[in-house]
Structure 1
Amino acid sequence: MGMLKMPSGRKIKLVIFELLEYVAFSVPTLVIMEQFASAYHNVMNTSEKTHYWLIVSCSIAYVASVSLLIWVPVKVLLYKKRHLYKKIKGWRPVMMMCVVLTTLPSFSFSVAMTEVQKNTTGTISAALPDNLPDLPVSLVLTSLIVVDIIEKLRIYPLRGRQKSNEDDHTHPTTLQDIKTVTEQVNQHEENSVPPQPARRTQLPVQHLEEPQEPSFHSGVLKAASHRDVRSEIFLWSFLLWSDTIEMVRVAGHPAVYKSGWLYPVYIFSFISLLRIILTPQNPLLNSLGILLQDIPFIFVRLSLIIVLGTVTPVLGLCKNVLVTLSYVYFNHLTKFRVFSTFEIS
């Protein structure tokens, strides 16, 4: 009797990743719509649960439909047709499906969940809670970030130790060595090239004096200073969306969700999430971060502070303003002569 062949680690990794992605794709919609059904049932104030089970069954039918008609075919196509997958540049189909088919419906029913608890006269119903539950927001954004992390981790093995810069035995060139070589080259050019009119140059990075960083090659400090790109993916994936997470949580404030300000908060928060469709190294990612997140958040946060007070932290507004100004200045204004300070006479 032949021995059973154990599945390879690559196949196990693929199965685990696909299961986690599908859970993150389907669970938020089911949870949000179940809470919407509960809120609608409470407002109806009836013992019958016909409407409740109708909404729940519709949510299950929606998730099953998009899974069978869109999610599974796209996944199979990307896995089987590798030549088609290599032609996709700059954006990620999996993230687009999550944003359009999961995040958008979840945000929509989060808004609808508060609207069904308001009566026709426009006054707030007593059934409306003092604070919106945190579960819907945390679940939707966490699921989206988890899919983003999985997509980034696919190119890395999960086993084995990632080699870092500290593990290399080569000694990097010191700043003093760079200065010495640069000075010799400049001196040689000055002796061989005749004087020319003044011209602007780019920032001479090699002349900047940076703080000296320590390096540890043994003992506990070496283990503590080791950096692994796989663990940093988790860190930066959550930090990247901290601003959007804080903005969506503002919608849970009573002064926001009991007024019309609930709509711009959710709309611009969703628009800021569209950046997650792009690949991590897309050159347009920084500019879109300014256009889709920081600039809209400036107007939303400033308006909220003026009208409702500090329902949103002033620190968030400062972050959006400083990031926008620094991007415009260093990427565009420094091209003009009046802002160009690095010149050779």
Structure 2
Amino acid sequence: MVSEKLIKILVFELLEFAAFSTPTLVIVEQFATAYQTTMGNPEKTHYWLIVSCSIAYVASVTLLIWVPIKVLLFKKHRFTKNIVGWRPVMMMYVILTTLPSFSFSIAVTEVQKNKNPLPSTLPDLPVSLVLTSLIVVDIIEKLRIYPLKAWQKCNEDRHIHTTTLHQVKTVTDQVKQQEENTSFPQPARRTEASQPSAESTQNPSPVLEEPQEPSFHSGVLGAMSQQDHRAQIILWSFVLWSDTIEMVRVAGHPAVYKSGWLYPVYIFSFISLLRIILTPQNPLHNSLGIFLQDLPFVIVRLSLIIALGTVTPVLGLCKNILVMVSYVYFNYFSKFKALSTFETSSF
């Protein structure tokens, strides 16, 4: 019988290949249809020529790049161990699928500008298909290390809560020890084990007072409070790219695609997708999110609002500004001595 691991690998590979090839074929077919309609020629010579070129592109890229790299990743474990901090599969998808799809989406827009009358809105299928396929590939790459049948509880909250309690206990013990030493002076013993380091006494770790959360272990509430890390991967994979999805959808607005603002919207949206190449736990992931997404989106959204009005939601602009300011403040400004005084709040 076929093993469950082999079935899992086959299903994942088929889904990834479908997500890799489908967006390019669909968007190029829409470009061929728009071009054929604009030409007004009853013969479909140009249509089938463009479609055949897209099929040839997908087939050649699959046989020359996609399949060899996939085989190399499965067979050569030494090669896989040397890949640290980035994901080759996501890089192939971004360069070989997302970039051509965005390019042909712009081409479809330019071709439809020659129509009379102009369409009121652009079709949403290309954008949704490309980004959905990208998210699907990202989810599959994250789920590879997890079993699909066994139940696995998410222990992130419990780990954070345990770590916080450990920090509170450690700092409390240090404070009590210092009070005892000041109230009952004893001869000093110069032992390395008993003396706390200068760094720990001068800069104690902050004690965070978090609100107590209820815990349910049985009944309906216990069933509703169950958390699985695999389900959260799927949830947060869509939430993570909601800002980019909203930005690309702005390109379908008539005031945007009829003007030159179409190009910066697509260009900066593609740039924001480049951080998906990194692994989820890469330390540079948050910084690149600021420099590749939030900062460019602030410039583009602010320019669109000034030039064309509220074609893009103001909420998205506020989100980008708040994320940038909070990242810079808490990671850099809070380290200054004038702002590094520790305070606790009882309410």
TM-score, normalised with respect to structure 2: 0.89
Structure 2 match to 1:156: 146
Q: Does 1:59 align with 2:61?
A: no
User: Per-residue deviation at 1:180?
Assistant: 6.1
- Which AA in structure 1 matches 2:51? V
The CA distance in 1 between the partners of 2:266 and 2:37, in whole Å, is 24
Residue pair 2:135, 2:237 contacting (<8 A) in 1 also: yes
Q: Which residue of 1 aligns with 2:112?
A: 117
Q: Deviations over 1:63-83 (max 9, x none)?
A: 001000000000000011011
1:188 aligned partner: 177
Alpha-carbon separation, structure 1, partners of 2:73 and 2:50: 33
- Aligned equivalents of 1:339 and 1:289: distance in 2? 25
The answer (yes or no) to whether the contact 1:114–1:128 under 8 Å persists in 2 is no
The letter for the 1-side match of 2:93 is C
**Aligned counterpart, 1:251:** 251
**TM alignment of 1:171-182, pairs within 5 A:** 179=168, 182=171
> What amino acid maps onto 2:306 in structure 1?
I
Task: Tell whether 2:29 aligns with 1:34.
Answer: yes
The aligned counterpart of 1:3 is none
**Cα gap change, 1:200 to 1:320, in 2 (>3 Å):** farther
- Could you give the per-residue CA deviations for residues 27-76 of structure 1, whole angstroms, max 9, x where no partner exists? 00000000000000010011011000000000000000100000000000
Aligned to 2:100: 105
1:77 aligns with 72
Q: Please name the residue that 2:191 is paired with.
A: none
Structure 2 CA distance, aligned partners of 1:258 and 1:320? 26
**8 Å contact from structure 1 (residues 200, 342) kept in 2:** no
AA in 1 matched with 2:12: F
Task: Return the offset for 1:263.
Answer: 0.2
Distance 1:102 1:314 in 2: 31
Q: How far did residue 315 of structure 1 move?
A: 0.3
- Residues 272 and 293, structure 1, Cα contact 8 Å, conserved in 2: yes
Moved more, 179-188 or 307-316: 179-188
Report the CA distance between 1:173 and its aligned residue: 6.5
Within a 5 Å distance, the mapping from 1:1-345 to structure 2 comes to 6-119=1-114, 125-126=115-116, 128-165=118-155, 179=168, 182-190=171-179, 191=181, 201=203, 203-204=205-206, 207-342=207-342
Distance 1:28 1:174, change over 3 A: closer
Deviation of 1:234 (Å):
0.5
What RMSD in Å do the two structures reach over aligned CA positions?
2.5
> What are the superposed Cα offsets for residues 209-248 of structure 1, whole Å, 9 maximum, x if unpaired?
1110001111111111010001111000000000000000
Structure-1 separation of matches of 2:215 and 2:67 = 48
- Displacement of 1:178 in angstroms is 6.8
CA contact 2:171–2:205 (8 Å) conserved in 1 = no
CA distance in 2, matches of 1:185, 1:143: 53
Paired residue type of 1:188? Q
Deviation digits for residues 108-158 of structure 1 (CA, Å, limit 9, x no counterpart) = 000011112334xxxxx3153110000000000000000000000000000
Cα drift, residue 183 of structure 1: 2.9
Offset at residue 174 of structure 1 (A): 11
Letter in 1 for 2:110: E
Further displaced range: 289-298 or 217-226: 217-226
Q: Equivalent residue of 1:116, what SS?
A: helix
Code of the residue aligned with 1:271 in structure 2: it is: I
Corresponding letter in the other structure for 1:276: I
Structure 1 runs, 4 residues or longer, greater than 2 Å off? 163-166, 172-185, 199-203
1:84 to 1:259, Cα distance in 2 relative to 1, 3 A: same
> In 2, Cα distance between the equivalents of 1:213 and 1:236?
22
Q: 1:68 to 1:128 in 2, by over 3 A?
A: farther
Q: Deviations over 1:76-112 (max 9, x none)?
A: 0001101111110000000000000000000000001
Q: Counterparts of 1:302 and 1:174 in 2: how far apart (Å)?
A: 41
Residues 112 and 118 of structure 2 are in contact (CA less than 8 Å); yes or no, is this contact kept in structure 1?
Answer: yes
Partner of 2:192: none
Query: What CA distance in whole angstroms lies between the structure 2 residues aligned with 1:105 and 1:141?
Result: 13
- Output the CA distance in 1 between the equivalents of 2:95 and 2:340: 43
In percent, how many aligned pairs have the same letter? 72
Q: Deviations over 1:14-38 (max 9, x none)?
A: 0000000000000000000000000
CA distance in 1: counterparts of 2:280 and 2:213, whole angstroms = 27
**Cα shift at 1:175:** 7.8
TM-score, structure 1 length as denominator? Answer: 0.89
Greater shift, 176-185 or 149-158, is seen at 176-185
Cα 1:157–1:174, aligned 2, differ >3 Å: closer, same or farther? closer
Q: Give 3-state SS (helix, strand or coil) of 1:274's partner.
A: helix
* 2:147 match: secondary structure: coil
